[in-house]
Structure 1
């Protein structure tokens, strides 16, 4: 990979764009961009967590990039680097931007322009692709004492219309509509139902319910994104609690009878839902299973649990230029 320019711009201003590290301010994407006009892009959100004064760790970065490459294939987007190469690029980007604390990485692979001789129109073949990766400092931004949610009147886009397992940029208009409705109604987040009227997911997170010690989450057949944090929680509950999470159809009424509800996602991490549709969930405070999951997840991402070391990629201050 090209190392780009040698003169370092201001802190936090590097981006990886089309095969080179460049000052982020120099990345220019015009109004004719195919991804802008038609939503033909895929993305990921990846977190890095501080683990000391000069070291942080990317959390499950290879899994994120593997999912992005799979998502890109559905839209015939040529990502270029492999998942392992993308992990190396990202660690170098974090070094260049000085992110040794908590940070957030946003890789975006997208359609750019029609290739010569290709007629105008909405299409996937005959359209060039680009890859851009940026990073920024980011800690936790969702209150850990709990949030309120409401069931959205907007339904989750079915997998039969747009692949639910892919993080496609255009699909997130659906999420934005649901979030806007929820916040206007006084809630913190929205919970989608799928076309069958069953629980799918929150606006940008997966949903877990606890009742009588049993834990359930909507299955892949419920039109959910196959969340990487969701997978982490299923593994942690199996390992630490001896609990096998039920991945199944979740009825809307179960949201009103659950002892605990929590959301999982890279951005929100693990967040308790203490109110649903204006009614308290359980006691109205984070429940014991939720708290134990939050603690286990925090130990994992902060490199305090050697049993989950395989999920982490260290980022040291000393750089090895690509």
Structure 2
């Protein structure tokens, strides 16, 4: 049975309960993270925790746990659930807490609600162009809020965009701003490849500071065999790219071979994807 953590207590996930007056329930007033563990080894655990702490500070939720305390808690939760599966994702969610009334302003003297649970995740994809899962996407204007750099639990905008892709028989939705510039996917970051160069939008308020994105950029730059650029990417560039990737903790680096019903590049998984994914795979546990 899956064991969860809620406000200092470990208990079966089916027994975990919060108040309907919790601000996470009423307003989506909270921060979350999803962290993969493969055979007990985490990928990007401390960067995930760092991003979570930064997000809590950005929305003024006062949570006193240190990075090391978070690490100990999450490692312990994974150990308690090791019988579920070899590979586990950890979802951790901190809301502002439970007040005695529904009121928009931040309440005072309220303890945050801290909740975490694990769930099985699939094995990593093979570093093999012929065997990796290929993705298809639609493109649509990004209509979410303007603080996408905060990993908020208020994900309705993302959910609506994801549903656009899902309802049209695709795997995801690729988003662009009012100026026709690539932002990200509804639940992932995005990269293109052109003439062997790996390119991704700059980190600003329009995109989430993805941990997988960060690991990819750091590992490719350290390796040095592929040129990397962070800059504005237009949708014209996306539509004329040789390769398109989406990245997240659950997808790692996923090749997209179809966009809006048309092939990306030659419609096959690219050689640069395979090289980049090998570099990422060789180094992902170092973060």
SS in 2 for 1:114: coil
**Residue of structure 1 aligned with 2:62, choices 78, 84, 104:** 78
Q: Which residue of 1 aligns with 2:158?
A: 175
Q: Which blocks of at least 5 consecutive residues in structure 1 are unaligned?
A: 1-9, 51-55, 312-322
Map 1:227-266; keep pairs closer than 5 Å: 227-266=210-249
* Residues 1:148 and 2:131 are matched in the alignment: no
Tell me if the contact between 2:24 and 2:95 (Cα under 8 Å) persists in the aligned partners. Answer: yes
Alpha-carbon distance in 2 for matches of 1:212, 1:141: 27
Deviations 1:159-200 (A, max 9, x none): xxxx22211011x11111111111212221101112433100
Tell me if the contact between 1:262 and 1:270 (Cα under 8 Å) persists in the aligned partners. Answer: yes
Q: Which residue of 2 aligns with 1:314?
A: none
Alpha-carbon distance in 2 for matches of 1:292, 1:235: 15
Q: Which residue of 2 aligns with 1:6?
A: none
SS in 1 for 2:97: strand
Map 1:22-61; keep pairs closer than 5 Å: 22-50=11-39, 56-61=40-45
Map 1:276-295; keep pairs closer than 5 Å: 276-295=259-278
Tell me if the contact between 1:34 and 1:113 (Cα under 8 Å) persists in the aligned partners. Answer: yes
Q: Which residue of 2 aligns with 1:5?
A: none
Q: Which blocks of at least 5 consecutive residues in structure 2 are unaligned?
A: 126-130
Change (3 A) 1:95 1:44: same
TM superposition outliers: structure 1 runs of 4+ over 6 Å: none
Tell me if the contact between 1:272 and 1:286 (Cα under 8 Å) persists in the aligned partners. Answer: yes
Aligned length: 280
Change (3 A) 1:141 1:62: closer
Q: Which residue of 2 aligns with 1:113?
A: 98
TM-score for the superposition, normalised by structure 2: 0.90
Q: Which residue of 2 aligns with 1:17?
A: 6
TM-score for the superposition, normalised by structure 1: 0.81
Alpha-carbon distance in 2 for matches of 1:251, 1:36: 37
* Residues 1:166 and 2:150 are matched in the alignment: yes
Q: Which residue of 2 aligns with 1:67?
A: 51
Q: Measure how far apart 1:156 and its partner are.
A: 3.9
Change (3 A) 1:222 1:79: closer
* Residues 1:97 and 2:81 are matched in the alignment: yes
Alpha-carbon distance in 2 for matches of 1:57, 1:120: 41
- Rg (Cα) greater in structure: 1
Q: Which residue of 2 aligns with 1:4?
A: none
SS in 1 for 2:4: strand
Deviations 1:267-313 (A, max 9, x none): 11110010111111111111011111222223334x5xxxx3xx2xx
Alpha-carbon distance in 2 for matches of 1:209, 1:229: 15
* Residues 1:157 and 2:142 are matched in the alignment: no
Q: What is the alpha-carbon root mean square deviation over aligned residues?
A: 2.0
Q: Which residue of 2 aligns with 1:88?
A: 72
Q: Which residue of 2 aligns with 1:300?
A: 283
Alpha-carbon distance in 1 for matches of 2:82, 2:267: 40
SS in 1 for 2:267: coil
